Amino acid sequence: MKRVFDTQLIGPFAAMLLVIIIVALTTERFLYLGNLSNLFLQVSIVALIAIGSTIVIFAAGIDLSSGSMVALLTMILAQMLKFIGIPLVFALPLIFIVGGLLGLVIGLLTAYGRIPSFITSLAALIAFRGLALTFNNGSPIFSLDPALEPIFYGKLIGIPLPFFYLVFFYALAAFIMNFTRLGREIYAVGGNPAAAVLTGINVRKVQTTTFVIAGLMTAVGAILMSARLNSGSPNYGQTLELQAIAAAVVGGASLAGGRGNILATLMGAMTIVIVQNGLNLNAAPSSIQNVVLGLIILMAVGIDMWRAELSTLIFSFVKRFSSNKKATLKRNS
Amino acid sequence: MESKTPLWEFVDVTKAYPGVLANDEICIKLMPGSIHGLLGENGCGKSTMIKTLAGVQNPDSGKILHNGQPVIIGNPQVARDLGIATVFQEFSIVPTLSVGENIFLGNMPISRFGVIDWSKVDIDAARVLAEMNIDISPDAITGTLSVGDQQLVEIAKAIAKDARMIILDEPTAALGEEEIERLHALLRNMRNRGTAILYVSHRLDEVERIVDEVTILRNGRVVRASGETEINISEIVSAMVGEDIGEHYPKEHNITDKVVLEAKGLATKSNVTDVSFVLHSGEVLGFGGVLGSGRTEIAHALFGVDQLTSGQIILKGKPVRFRQEIDAINAGLALVPENRKYDGLFFNFKASGNITAASLGGLSRFGVLNLKAEQQATYELIRDLEISNEAEEKTVNYLSGGNQQKIVIARWLFSDSDILILDEPTQGIDIGAKIAVYKLINKLTRAGKSIILVSSDHDELLAMSDRVAIVQQGTISRSVNASDLTHNDLVQASANTSYLKSQEVLA
């Protein structure tokens, strides 16, 4: 357990706590049960997609494609349910497969085609959005299947289902990253690809796998998105990829690869969503929300970069404080 | 030389980091016209001292005197203004710029119109290079030069600034024999013109050749000040380590006549041609030769990094073919690369992750790692190889070079490789750690494992090898018993190569 809940979680956890305290103190309705369960609904899609984005980042890649892929997958799902007439139980696994395959293509182009992932996933970001528009003449498809909505809105013992998805997928991701060979190899490839090659790790295969994982997690996000709105639209998921990357970064994942804790991404996503929620409840305009999101990302990375200076500052402060205390104690005794 | 006032003097300089006293009342006098060797094991406080003099950090207490006057070197700019130039281990040249641009980077001559005066850059750069008696064009793109020439450009920068005090941190780590000679000639030249030089190195043979006086640090303190210690290797070693270590090279002869690997006429696209040799069980086969002679490339040919264009590797009597590194690893080979920083270590991992990286398959069942076994093995290796205990809790970037190197080797102990290719295994690590690596080599050969030792340190190569293969221009010119070879033979072999090279250029 020590391995999973390590010191890397302290910072993101403290940040989340701080944000909760601030929002709770300034916003009356924040702690209402209704709002809290709403919070889980809000965070679920971005937090699940962020699992994939983070794992790609751990291997020193970047995935910009997830937002557009969500739009494309919701359109494919809508097409299957509404026009082709594929039953939901078959359509959902198919969406998983398509998501995984799209990730595979990006992964293969990156790892074997030696095109930087920033470019492959940027191309995918643009192309997937275009592909989504080729369905239904580019119009959204509504009222897909009455059985779809409960996937998002359903409850188990009074708790919204997305809470359980979060628990399940984060537990799985934490297990993979901390206890399996694949997880170790992902960190190794992100930490030092040259050394990974010389130790016999199949670097390209590992890189490709991270994009497949990202594709699968995006499929999960796309299914929840469709279920939430009972529709598919080529406009869904705009900037979702950036929010997912932001969650990873606020959670402390190093964009250089190799460092970070997957659970911290969940905290990063929570932090972002709580701030947005607080701004919403205080009726702040959405333009301000984006500015705040930008500032949060800057602060999260800044604190990481200035860690040495900050700790020296704190250290000298503590030293001065404790020596004062010692001096006082001496005087008193 | 006659002046009795030191150019720079440290008086009781102390610097503490959280938890460590890095410099403890250091006193040192740096005289003009003198090459001053600064020695000590890793973590003894050399880097801290250099950083203080270069203005990178400020001491907690103590005085720094410049020509007898107390000064404060608040930041690197102040140090530069006071005529101090530092050549750090990692070069600070910009590879895409020309030599002239690099030399004047940061203080480009400006013409009347406020733009860079390029003709002056060219003329001044050419003058500096001529002064140094080196034949490099100011227009050459620095990145295309050899590592040795890049090092000289780095020093040219210092000279161009009219530095009176030059600090060199491990200047020869990446240089070949001939390049070292050139560097040393240059340093002597500068010394004779009254420059003070502080020379930090782990290569003791070199220190003996070049240094005028020596100061030795241990645990942040000066244990031998200049003048106290004769420049004599065995005395220096015992002062550095703090005990009389007796044998510097604890060689054990474990060679048997059982052939484990035979290379027949190997060739690759990286200029390896017709390489043949045999390796016995328990043998240390040294690869001698100059930098760029193809030793590392032969290692890459053996390890499946470079594909063979012809030739054959016969492993334990069976011909094998390695399409990629993993094939070589599975066949029991291991490569400890020359540059552990870039090719060897995972700085995001603790010792454990680094040690098991090549054995993840054996360590896992259905893809799930056996973390208990990993921890146990790490604990045992840290204990057996006397690796710092910190390695269990901290990522390896916090460890000294010696500990890092032991961890890279431990990786292949854990994977139970039979044939280890060690490429410059003791480069940049201190004498205590070097001896630990030598003992490790003994331990491996005693267990019947075979070692290919690539080293530029001639003494080490001669002392630790059973046989030495002399590598020239991508091929092995001859293999001889180490005992039949002298230091001079190796230097001669190096000289021959450069002779051949210069003939090629002429032709």
pLDDT digits (tens, 9 = 90+) for B395-454: 888 887 788 888 998 998 898 899 999 998 887 777 778 888 898 899 999 999 999 999
Structural domain that includes position A58: 7-284
Q: Which CATH class is domain B8-241?
A: alpha beta
B407 in contact with A, Cβ within 8 Å:
no
Which tens digits make up the pLDDT trace of A208-255? Answer: 999 999 999 999 999 999 999 999 999 999 989 999 999 999 888 888
Domain assignment present for residue A86? The answer is: yes
The rounded percent of chain B whose pLDDT value lies above 70 is 92
Note the pLDDT of residue B504: 40
Greatest Cα pair distance, chain A, in angstroms, is 87
Which tens digits make up the pLDDT trace of A66-77? Answer: 999 999 999 999
How many angstroms separate the CA atoms of A51 and A167, rounded? 12
Q: B44 and B239 in contact (C-beta within 8 Å)?
A: no
Comparing CB atoms, the residue among B325, B346, B364 nearest residue A192 is B346
Residue with tokens 């069942």: B365
Q: In this structure, what token pair is assigned to residue A203?
A: 């670097």
**pTM to 2 decimal places:** 0.78
Report residue B498's pLDDT band, with 50, 70 and 90 as the boundaries: very low
Q: In this structure, what token pair is assigned to residue B238?
A: 């015992």
Domain edges within chain B: 8-241, 247-332+452-507
DSSP letter string over B462-507? HHH-SEEEEEETTEEEEEEEGGG--HHHHHHHHHHHHHHHHHHHH-
Domain count, chain A: 1
Q: A259 and A276 in contact (C-beta within 8 Å)?
A: no
DSSP letter string over A191-215? H-HHHHHHTT--HHHHHHHHHHHHH
Note the pLDDT of residue B303: 92
Q: B205 and B457 in contact (C-beta within 8 Å)?
A: yes
First and final C-alpha spacing in chain B: 46
List, in order, residues 6 or more apart from A25 with CB less than 8 Å away.
none
Comparing CB atoms, the residue among A181, A192, A196 nearest residue B367 is A181
Mean pLDDT of the A140-157 span: 90
3 state SS of B168: strand
Task: Say if strands B475-481 and B419-423 run parallel, antiparallel, or are unpaired.
Answer: unpaired
Q: In this structure, what token pair is assigned to residue A214?
A: 């990202």
Q: B176 and B290 in contact (C-beta within 8 Å)?
A: yes
Q: Which residues pair with B471 in a beta bridge?
A: B476
Report residue B154's pLDDT band, with 50, 70 and 90 as the boundaries: confident
Interface of B with A in 108-147 (CB under 8 A): none
Comparing CB atoms, the residue among A188, A200, A315 nearest residue B346 is A188
Q: B360 and B424 in contact (C-beta within 8 Å)?
A: no
A301/A1: higher pLDDT: A301
Lowest mean pLDDT among A16-25, A320-329, B56-65: A320-329
Determine the Cα angle at B55 with ends B54 and B59, to 5°: 115
Note the pLDDT of residue A326: 56
Domain assignment present for residue A323? The answer is: no
The torsion angles phi and psi of B294, rounded to 5 degrees, stand at 110, 10
Q: In this structure, what token pair is assigned to residue A59?
A: 């291997």
How many angstroms separate the CA atoms of B45 and B24, rounded? 9
Here the CATH number for the domain that contains residue A71 is: 1.10.3470
Domain assignment present for residue A318? The answer is: no
Whether the per-residue pLDDT at A131 is higher than 60: the answer is yes
How many angstroms separate the CA atoms of B408 and B399, rounded? 12
Note the pLDDT of residue B505: 39
Which tens digits make up the pLDDT trace of B355-393? Answer: 999 999 889 899 999 999 999 999 999 888 888 888 888
Determine the Cα angle at B73 with ends B71 and B79, to 5°: 115
- What fold, for B247-332+452-507? Rossmann fold (3.40.50)
Which tens digits make up the pLDDT trace of A28-70? Answer: 888 888 888 888 888 999 999 999 999 999 999 999 999 999 9
Domain assignment present for residue A291? The answer is: no
Q: Which residues pair with B14 in a beta bridge?
A: B61
Note the pLDDT of residue A328: 56
Length of chain A, in residues: 333
Beta strands in chain A (DSSP E): 155-156, 159-160
A66, containing H or E segment: helix A66-78
Per the CB < 8 Å rule, is B337 touching A198?
yes
How many angstroms separate the CA atoms of B367 and B394, rounded? 26
Domains B8-241 and B247-332+452-507 in one fold: yes
Per the CB < 8 Å rule, is A259 touching B348?
yes
Domain assignment present for residue A296? The answer is: no
Which tens digits make up the pLDDT trace of B282-330? Answer: 999 999 877 778 888 999 999 999 999 999 999 999 999 999 899 999 9
Count of C-beta atoms within a 10 Å radius of residue B484: 9
Chain A neighbors of B325, CB-CB under 8 A: 197-200
How many angstroms separate the CA atoms of A308 and A271, rounded? 24
Whether the per-residue pLDDT at B271 is higher than 70: the answer is yes
Note the pLDDT of residue A108: 97
